Amino acid sequence: QVQLVESGGGLVQAGDSLTLSCAASGVTFSMTALAWFRQAPGKAREYVAGFSRTGGYSSYGNSVKGRFTISRDSAKKMVWLRMNNLQPEDTAVYYCAASDRVISSSQTRADAYANWGQGTQVTVSA
């Protein structure tokens, strides 16, 4: 059974940094696409960053490129999202997602992921 547990959210000021963590269990890292999504109130779930199933390729949403960095440790079964220069528009609930069936063309789509964590709130004040 796949379980994803996020942590590290909080309230920060604009320009601050924050690192989110996702502890994954029940997954085989070498065969699982892992990603971070976020959802702000009243908005659709948005792709933030993710790794391909093999872990050899990472990608980022346009709004976070150059500010956020995704990383992973297969031995620890952990995925992190380092967020620098946070802005109020980054305020959202951040979710960790996993799928062993997603293909590259659907990697940024939320409906391609079958497994989700409970989410962690990130609030950025101006």
Spell out where the chain has E strands.
3-7, 10-13, 18-25, 33-39, 46-51, 58-60, 68-73, 78-83, 92-99, 115-116, 120-125
pLDDT at 39: 98
pLDDT at 111: 94
**Residue pLDDT tens, the chain, 126 long:** 999 999 999 999 999 999 999 999 999 988 899 999 999 999 999 999 999 988 888 999 999 999 999 999 999 999 999 999 999 999 999 999 999 988 888 899 999 999 999 999 999 999
Residue 89 makes CB contacts below 8 A (sequence gap 6+) with 63, 124
pLDDT at 114: 94
pLDDT at 110: 96
Q: Which of 7, 113, 109, 124 is nearest to 48 (CA)?
A: 109
